[in-house]
């Protein structure tokens, strides 16, 4: 579980760091787009995958909040929420 938590905490940090790095220039220009990848898992709890679901819920909530904060600035912030996929 420790490894799983570390990986997902890294995801939070990446979303925040990338936004912090690129958002100021976008705001200054008055245009830009941010697309964060969340998941349909962000909309519900997930037994045995609770860290994954919580991480995706964070990305979804962060994106929705940021979108509201940036209304009227010319920027677009959206979350991509794909469903389950099959893996190899």
> Could you list the active site residues?
52
Smallest CA-to-CA distance from 54 within 72, 70, 38 is with 38
Question: Is 66 exposed, middle or buried, given 0-12, 13-18 or 19+ CB atoms closer than 10 A?
Answer: middle
Q: Can you say how many angstroms the Cα of residue 79 is from the centroid of all Cα atoms in its chain?
A: 6
User: Is 33 in a helix, a strand, or coil?
Assistant: strand
């Amino acid at each position: 579980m420790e490894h799983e938590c570390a990986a997902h905490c890294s995801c939070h940090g990446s979303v925040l760091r990338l936004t912090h790095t690129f958002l100021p220039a976008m705001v200054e220009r008055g245009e830009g787009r941010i697309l964060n990848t969340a998941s349909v898992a962000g909309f519900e709890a997930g037994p045995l995958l609770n860290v994954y679901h919580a991480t995706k819920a964070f990305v979804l909530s962060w994106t929705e909040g940021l979108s509201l904060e940036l209304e009227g600035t010319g920027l677009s912030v959206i979350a991509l929420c794909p469903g389950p996929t099959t893996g190899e």
